[in-house]
Structures are given as C-alpha cells and as structure tokens.
Structure 1
C-alpha cells in the first residue's frame, strides 16, 4: 500500500477538484492525504472519498492569527502572505510526518509546488493550466527551478506536454501524459434530475466567471448580434460564479439583455443543464485541457469551443466532434451558433461526440497504472 499525499491550494468546484475525486476514487486501497494551503471548501468537498485524510493549517495558532490580520488589514498582504507560507513550509518540513511514498502537487500555484518540494519521497507535479501562463508569471523562474527537482511531471494532454517541454526545457523522460477523466456513472446518475426552467431550448455555458481565462465578452457580443437579427433565438444560461460576476452582469445590462442572458450561479449538478441544452459554448482564452467540454459532449449537447493554444483542438480532434472558433472572433462564434440552431441533422455529431467523451471515462481507465 502506498501513502500518497496531494497538495492543493484550495478545494472549490472545478475541473481540478473533479479530477482529484476521480483519481482518489481509484486509490481506495491506498492511504491518501490532502494538504490544502487555504482552508477554502465548497459543496464539492462532500464528494471526497472517505479514504482521504484532509490536512490544513488552521490548527496552527500563528497561521490562523496571521490570516485573521491579513483578512482585516489587506494592505499587509505583501508581507503576511510570504510569512504564512514560510511557517507552512517549516511545519511540513519538520513537524508533519506522513511517511509518504509520493507527494503530488495538484495545483498550478507556487505555494502548493514548494510545499510538495519539501516533502519526503518522490515528488510529482500535475500541470492543469496552459504552461505559458505559468512561465510568464512573476515567479516563472522559481517554477522552472522546482519543476526540474520533481521526479515526474504529469501533463493532461499532448499539446500541453509539448508546450511545457518547449518552455521549461525539462527532460522528456520525466514527463508523461495522463488525460483528465470524467465519471460517466456520476453523469448518468445526475443528468436526468429535473431541471426547473420554462425554456425548452437554451444556449449554455458552465464556467468560472473569470475574464482572465474565459472570454465571456465575445460570447455576449455574439449573442447580441443574433438577438438583433432574430428575437426568437433561445435564451442563454451561464452556470457558475467567480470574481468578474458583477462586471459581466453590468455588461449584459448595458446591452439590455438581462431577460435573455441569465446568470444562474454555481450548481453542484451541471449535467442536468447540459442534457437539456441546445448548444454548449466553451469559450476559453487559455486552457490546460477542458474537462467541462468533455462532460458536455457526453451529455450529447452540440459544442462550440474556442481554439485556444492547448486543449479543445485535441479533445475535438481538429473539429471532428464539435465546432472550433478563433478566440475573440465574435462573428465566427455568432455564425457557429446560428449554424447549429438551423442544423436538423445534428444527431449524428452528438452521438459521435458522446462516444469520443466516453473514451475519457474513469470506468475505461486504470489511473494507478497511468500515474505510477
């Protein structure tokens, strides 16, 4: 039996957290620990399997006190945040004895990476985002140094691995690809839950509302062009929450689309929305893979995805299983939506997309062999 430690920045609903649950669900014979840098959980934490022991730092009086001060006096954050991290590093290095065989950095953050570095045993780092974003960050040189100290780098698709190797100049022998997985049993269980909406047809986005990585503005502009042409087009729902929710609401209001583009907030069951949607839009500026895109394909909703540097093109096999549009191309996005709404023979594409998505199913994969 292996002692496996995962290190994550926080645990809030998203593709990374779903992937963690899928992995540890196959590690039930192992002892699994989850170290969270920030004790920040939402409803998805209830799905963490029982063999996982969660370790946070709130029980450390000094960390807890400094965080309270930081919360009330945020101008001190440039000083307090590094101090808190140093205390966490010292605790993990000298006081936390988990007797781990493998420690896996499972967040694309410097804090989780360095806490992985100070652990005993083998050290893995799982890359979830676009490597270019990491490389271009203010701590890019430190990421590069720590990645080279890892025994294994795990990328989530081939395009991401190629870009990572180009940017970080790491020996290819220490990198591997482990595709993200979806749990089709969970999707099948929840997708038929009753969806309380009056709209028989609707366009859907399921995403964290963050303008740094998601291009909501182009989607809203494309919808506005369609609305000006045809007042009978379906409304659009956005399922998710995030830091730019207020800005997006204001932009929708500015275009007088409040009754047509509706923000629904987070939902622990996005599959019922996907199953009933007419179109699913995946509009990322930057991506590592795109788990939600695969989930939508499995729910047999036609998809449109932005052709960002990493992820969607590989998932959709160059557009074979869904439409690809250029990032920021409002007209191309508008025409893509219109084309799908008019297509009476969309059933074949939906069936093929579901088959493609099923190939990423946890039920068809032995993650233990793929990882270790």
Structure 2
C-alpha cells in the first residue's frame, strides 16, 4: 500500500534549494508514495520550477502573489514608521494565514488519499507551527550550517527547540550532521544524513544546449575562462577573495578571464570590487540563467569562494562535468565533497593569496589540472540520484 507523503517548501523560484527539491520529487518512487507538494509562496511568473514538478503530484500554493507583493512593498520602506507597522502587521497576518491554509490543504489531501503518513518540511519553514499539523511522522531537512546562518546563541537555542517538534532531522552532509549533534546532543538519535541527489543525464545534456544563449553569449563561450556560479550575495559568497585571487593569478601570467554566473542583491557592489581591482574587462558578470552547465562545460576550471555553505551543489555539478575544482574550506560541505583536498584544491576562507597560487598552478600546469578533472568526475558518482534516493527512502520509511 502506498504511503501518503506530503512535501512542503517555501517557493519554486530560481535557487539551489528549489533545484534539489525538484530533483527529489522527480526521483521519488511513485509506486511507493502518493505525493502532494505544498508551496508557501505563489510567485506567479517567478515559479520557474513549476513546470518541472512531475505529473501526478498535486501542487498547492498557500500565499497568493498579491499578498507577497504587498508585504514586500512595506518591507522595502521599513525605515518609515508607518511602513514598519504595516510590515509587522502583514507578517503577523501571513503567519496566521499560512497555518490555517496549510491545515486546510492537509484536510483536502486526507480526503483524497487518507491519513497523512509523512510530512516533509523541506526548507524548515514550518518549524514554528509544525506541531499544529496532523501527520503520523514529521521530518525536517536542514540545508545550511546552523551557527553560520543564525549566528546568535539565542537564535540557535530557539531553533533547536523547534527542531524537537520533528521525528527526524536530516542533514545534507556528514560535517553538518556532526555539527548539529554537537550543538543539539538531545537530538542526536533523530539526526540523519542524506546527500542531495543529482540527475547526471539532465546536467550533461544541458551542458551542450546553447538554445538559451544570445549571440553575444555564444561569443563569450568561445573565450578562455574560468568560472564561478553563485548568487551575487556578499554576505555568504566571498567575491572580494575571488576577484583578488584572480588578480594575483593574472599577475602570475594567467590569461583566462573569470566569468561569474548568477544574479542577486549585491551586483552593484561586486561591480565596484571588479573596477577597484582594475579587472573590468577580465571579470565578466554573466547574470541569471536557467542553464549554468553550458558555461561550466566550456570553462577551464571551476572556482568557489563562499564564506559558508549548506552543501555546495555547484561543486558536485562541476565535478559531474569533469572540471578541476578549487574551493574554500568553508563550513559545511565543500571540504567533504572534495575529500579534504583529494578531489579538488582547497584554500582557507578569505585567503586570496593561496587562491591565486592554486589558480596559477592549475591553469599553467595542464597535467595537474587533468589529474583533478579525472578524480573529480570519479567522486561525483557518489551523488548520483538513484544511489541517494535509497537514503531518502530509508529515512521516510524508518
């Protein structure tokens, strides 16, 4: 008999967590589960992953786009006391609305499939009210280093109390699991580990698909370049180190340009860092794309400079495409993916001089670069979806 499985997450907008959500939904065994998907934000045209949700999965949106836009309008103007009051009022209204709407949707799912066996909170967004939801088993997935994300001790403690409401807590790598066990020893028996699943065929197929590129971008693709793929966010992604490291490599005689694929709130700030370092024509911001893989495939190597990570999806994706990889040793994920330096080069967070040295070596020494290309591709096999989904099934059914 099939289990009644409900998966809840925040959005279907462009993002790493959303991509992993889709991979999970596409690879869950439909013979084992009746699957329903609850998404908190209906983002209208920004629901870029909606058409990738497999057929047969019912999708329920909670907050309408109009409510989201209204709250956003006041949030952007919070310095004004009126807008601050309106924002706080709307946030309170949203919270109550989401709880009642979720309960309503769960009742609808129960009518269709019967009692809910498993409720998966895939982005921990239901943690403040999950005890009000009816399901035999409740599981939460954690995608980030909790201390790096929350920082304040009071928030970390409060988060642990929320996690206690779940029957199982899933960390997406061993380092994260160990970190959580140290912070929350009372949850040790509930904490599980499951890597993110990757669809190799999709990534490899997209790596040769240039249909989304403009003529100008097709021209850029033919140039010699290295690549970074990440959100343009200076809080988490260390662009200062990335750009300074590339500058050192260029001073050492490296000719390859640096392409940065992605978009985000700090684009202007990053542009200023590029200009400050005199690299306006050597560091190119490609912008947002639904297909970063063609850019990865045609690059000389992949570089990652985050201050912290949840896992480092793009590192595995670069490995699948056989790229030599250089990454910061940020918590949590990259060091584990790269086997503490066995499958790729690692430098300390913020050490742009070391990054410059590693870039120089890999770009000037073809034999060394090719060695890392081979071992990276071999390592990527540990993250193939069919293998990882066995871990998911074990957690859901335990």
* TM-score, normalised by the number of residues in structure 2: 0.85
Partner of 1:204: 227
Partner of 1:192: 208
Q: Specify the SS of the correspondent of 1:359.
A: helix
Deviation at 1:167, TM superposition (A): 1.1
Partner of 2:50: 45
Say whether 1:57 aligns with 2:62: yes
CA distance in 2, matches of 1:39, 1:306: 35
Structure 2 portions without partners, runs of 5+: 79-83, 111-115
What are the equivalent positions in structure 2 for 1:236-315 lying under 5 Å apart? 236-315=258-337
Post-superposition Cα deviations, 1:59-79, rounded to whole Å, max 9, x if no partner, equal 599x56964774686533233
Relative to structure 1, the CA distance from residue 224 to residue 148 in structure 2 (aligned partners, 3 Å threshold; closer, same or farther) is: same
Does the 8 Å contact 2:234/2:266 carry over to 1?
yes
CA distance in 2, matches of 1:263, 1:185: 27
Q: Specify the SS of the correspondent of 1:269.
A: coil
Does the 8 Å contact 2:11/2:47 carry over to 1?
no
Q: Specify the SS of the correspondent of 2:93.
A: helix
Partner of 1:151: 167
Post-superposition Cα deviations, 1:217-274, rounded to whole Å, max 9, x if no partner, equal 10111122233443x5111111001111111112212333221111111111111111
Post-superposition Cα deviations, 1:312-339, rounded to whole Å, max 9, x if no partner, equal 1111111000000000001000001001
Does the 8 Å contact 2:74/2:87 carry over to 1?
yes
Taking only aligned residues, the RMSD between alpha carbons, in angstroms, comes to 2.4
Partner of 1:176: 192
Post-superposition Cα deviations, 1:9-28, rounded to whole Å, max 9, x if no partner, equal 22222331222112111223
Relative to structure 1, the CA distance from residue 125 to residue 216 in structure 2 (aligned partners, 3 Å threshold; closer, same or farther) is: same
CA distance in 1, matches of 2:295, 2:119: 36
Match of 2:148 among 129, 133, 137: 133
Post-superposition Cα deviations, 1:87-139, rounded to whole Å, max 9, x if no partner, equal 2113323664133221111115xx43235443211111101001213553564
Post-superposition Cα deviations, 1:168-190, rounded to whole Å, max 9, x if no partner, equal 23332211110112110101211
Match of 1:82 among 82, 89, 92: 92
Q: Specify the SS of the correspondent of 1:20.
A: helix
Relative to structure 1, the CA distance from residue 68 to residue 289 in structure 2 (aligned partners, 3 Å threshold; closer, same or farther) is: closer
Deviation at 1:275, TM superposition (A): 1.1
**Total equivalences in the alignment:** 368
More helix by share: 2
Structure 1 portions without partners, runs of 5+: none
CA distance in 1, matches of 2:73, 2:233: 27
